[in-house]
Chains A and B, each alone.
Chain A
Amino acid sequence: MNWAIFAIAAWLALGIDLGLGPTLALGGRGGVVPSVAIAFTAYVAMWAPPRTALWAALLIGAAIDLTSELALAGRGTGVLLGPNALGVLFGTQFVLAARSLVVRKNPLSLMVMTTAASLSAQIVVLAVISARELIGNRLGFFGTPLAWDTRLELEERALSSLYSGLVSLVVAVVLIPLTPLFSFVTPTQARWTRRS
C-alpha cells in the first residue's frame, strides 16, 4: 500500500469527522454521528493485505482516540489512548474475515462492511471503557471516573454505526475509482511477484 496516499486520505477522513461531525450529528445532544474514518478503515481492510490493513486500523483508531476528548464525571476532561484503536482493529479483523464474501467494487459492500466493522469496533470500545469504569470505580483506581452511561452509549453507538454505513456509500463512490492510487497488493499479485 502507498502509505503517503493513505496518510492523506486518513487526514481527510479525520478532518471531515472533526469538522463536519457536529453538523451531521442527529438529535440535539449530538450523540449520533457518522464516522468517515471508520468507513475509510473498512475500505482499506477490503483491499489491502491483512497485516497492512491491521496496522492501518491501529493508526486510525489511535488517531480517533487522540482526537476524542472525554468528559469526566463532575468536572474536567481527559484523553484515553486505546479503546478506539483496539475497537477499530477488531472491526478490521471482522472485515478481513468476511471480505471474500462480498464484491469489493460494489459500494453496497462497503456500506455493509462499514456498518459491521463500526458495530464490532463500538462493542470493543464499550467493553473496554465500561470494564475500566466498573473495575476502577469498585477498586478506586484510575482517579476521576468518566461521565459514562453504558446504556446510552450503546444506543448512540449502534445508531452511529448505521449512520456511518449510510455515509460510507458516499465514501465508496469517491474511493473506489481512486483504488489504483493506493497501490494495494492483493494476495494473488503478491504470489506472482514472489515467483518472478
Chain B
Amino acid sequence: MAHSLARLVRSERLMPLAVVALLGTSILPISASRIVTSPRVPLLIVLAPLSQSLGALGRWVRPPAPAASDERIAALETEVEAWRTRARALEAQNQALRGQLDEATRGGALAPGLAIRQQRAPVIAASGIRGGSVLTLRAGTRDGVDVGTVAAVRGVDLLGRVERVSDRTCAVVPITASGAGVLLGVVVLGDGIDAPELACELAPAGDGLLQGDLADPGALVTPGQTPPEVTPGMLVRLADNSWPASAQRLIIGEVEAVEPAENAPLRLTVTVRPRVALQRAGEAVLRIPAEPKNADGGDG
C-alpha cells in the first residue's frame, strides 16, 4: 500500500486529473452524487468508535439538556411526559378513529391501529457544512429504519425525521436546522389531558429556535369571554398531518416568547425552544412503525 501511495504521489499527471474530477463531482446533482459518495458509509463506520467516544465526553463536559437537580425527579418528570405524550397521542388517535368510524359507516375504509417499535440509536456524527445541521445515527435499513422514520430525543421530544438511510446508518435533519422546513404544532394551554390547544406554524429561526405565527386565542372562546393567554414555558406539540402518525403530539419544545408580529401587530408570533439542544443530542429514539408503512397514517 505504501508503495502504491508513493507511486501515486510521484505521478505528475494525476493531480490535475483529480482536480478536474473533483470540480466535476462538485457540480453533480445531489441525486447523482450518491455513486461518488459511496465511500461515506465505510468512512463513518471507521470514524464512529472515536467520534462516538469523544461525543460522549463532550456531552459530559457540556450536556445538551440542563442537568436536573435530582436524578429521581428527572426520571419521574420524563415518565410523566411520556405518559402525557401517550395520552395525547391516544386522544388524537381516538379522534381520528372517530372520524374514520364516521367515514366507515358511510362506506369508507377503517385504518388499522398504530403500533410503534422504539429503537435507540447513538449519534455517531453531527456533520454538515454548518456543524451540526445533520445528525448521523447508527441505525439503518437492517434495523427497519426507512426514509421518513421519526426520531425523538428522550422518547418524547421530537428530533426530526430520517432523510437518508443506508444499511447501517441514517441521517436525521433536526427540526431546528435551516433546511428542516415548516412544522404545524399546537400550544397546550394547561396541564390536563383535555387542556385546550392553539395552533401555530413554526419554522427554524436560527440559534436552535423555532418561530412562527400563532392562531388567534380569541377563536377558542365565545365572543365576550377573555381569551386564554399563551405564556412562556407552555409546551408545544406536533400536530402536522404531513408527518407520520408516530410523530403526532411529540413535544416540539417550550414557548419562549409571544409577541406581536413585526408587520401585523394584531397577529401573534410565537418563539419555541426545544427542551434539548437537538444539534448536540447524543442518542435518539427511532419510532419505527411495527405495521406495514401504509398503516402509519400521514405520509409515512
Chain A residues close to B by CB (< 8 Å): 3-4, 11-12, 14-16, 18-25, 27-33, 51-52, 54-55, 58, 62-63, 65-83, 85-86, 89, 125, 128-129, 132, 135-136, 141-144, 146-147, 149, 153, 156
Q: Is the CB of B26 within 8 A of A80?
A: yes
Q: A77-B171, A136-B27 are in contact. List 4 more A-B contacts (CB 8 A).
A: A67-B47, A75-B180, A79-B40, A86-B22
Q: Contacts A22-B280, A153-B129: A80 and B15 contacting too (C-beta < 8 A)?
A: no
Judge if B50 is at the interface, Cβ distance under 8 Å: yes
Q: Is the CB of A4 within 8 A of B22?
A: no
Chain B residues close to A by CB (< 8 Å): 1-2, 5-6, 8-10, 15, 18-19, 22-31, 33-34, 36-37, 39-40, 43-44, 46-47, 50-55, 57-59, 61-62, 124-134, 136, 163-164, 171, 173, 177-181, 206-209, 277, 279-280
Most buried by B among A3, A21, A128, A146: A21
Give 29 A-B contacts (CB < 8 Å), ordered by A residue: A11-B47, A18-B124, A19-B54, A20-B54, A22-B132, A22-B280, A25-B279, A30-B280, A51-B9, A51-B15, A54-B15, A58-B15, A67-B44, A74-B181, A75-B163, A75-B181, A76-B163, A77-B164, A77-B171, A79-B37, A81-B26, A82-B26, A89-B19, A141-B27, A141-B29, A142-B27, A146-B30, A147-B177, A156-B130
Instruction: Chain A residues near B125: list those with CB within 8 A.
Output: 18-19, 67
Residue in B closest to A62 when the chains form the complex, CB atoms: B22
Most buried by B among A14, A22, A33, A79: A22
State how many angstroms separate the Cβ of A131 from the closest Cβ of chain B.
Answer: 8
Q: Is the CB of B171 within 8 A of A69?
A: yes
Closest 10 pairs between A and B when the two form their complex, measured CB to CB = A71-B179, A19-B54, A23-B58, A15-B50, A82-B26, A147-B179, A78-B30, A33-B131, A30-B132, A28-B207
Q: How far is the CA of A27 from the CA of B30 in the complex (A)?
A: 29
Q: How far is the CA of A67 from the CA of B46 in the complex (A)?
A: 11
Q: Is the CB of A69 within 8 A of B30?
A: no
Q: Is the CB of A23 within 8 A of B206?
A: no
B8: contacting residue among A55, A77, A144, A149, CB under 8 A: A55
Q: Is the CB of A30 within 8 A of B50?
A: no
Q: How far is the CA of A33 from the CA of B126 in the complex (A)?
A: 11
Q: Is the CB of A67 within 8 A of B33?
A: no
Q: How far is the CA of A131 from the CA of B124 in the complex (A)?
A: 31
Instruction: Chain A residues near B171: list those with CB within 8 A.
Output: 69, 77
Inter-chain contact total with CB atoms closer than 8 Å: 214
Instruction: Chain B residues near A62: list those with CB within 8 A.
Output: 22
Residue in A closest to B180 when the chains form the complex, CB atoms: A71
Most buried by B among A14, A27, A79: A79
Instruction: Chain A residues near B62: list those with CB within 8 A.
Output: 23
Residue in A closest to B132 when the chains form the complex, CB atoms: A30
Q: How far is the CA of A82 from the CA of B129 in the complex (A)?
A: 13
Q: Is the CB of B58 within 8 A of A142?
A: no
Q: Is the CB of A75 within 8 A of B128?
A: no
Q: Is the CB of B178 within 8 A of A147?
A: yes
Q: Is the CB of A82 within 8 A of B23?
A: yes
Most buried by B among A18, A24, A75: A18
State how many angstroms separate the Cβ of A65 from the closest Cβ of chain B.
Answer: 8
A15: contacting residue among B2, B23, B51, B180, CB under 8 A: B51
Q: Contacts A19-B52, A77-B171, A153-B129: A86 and B279 contacting too (C-beta < 8 A)?
A: no
Q: Is the CB of B15 within 8 A of A67?
A: no
State how many angstroms separate the Cβ of B60 from the closest Cβ of chain A.
Answer: 9
State how many angstroms separate the Cβ of B188 from the closest Cβ of chain A.
Answer: 24
Q: Contacts A55-B15, A80-B26, A142-B30: A22 and B181 contacting too (C-beta < 8 A)?
A: no
Q: Contacts A18-B125, A21-B131, A29-B208: A77 and B33 contacting too (C-beta < 8 A)?
A: no
Q: How far is the CA of A158 from the CA of B43 in the complex (A)?
A: 27
State how many angstroms separate the Cβ of B102 from the closest Cβ of chain A.
Answer: 32
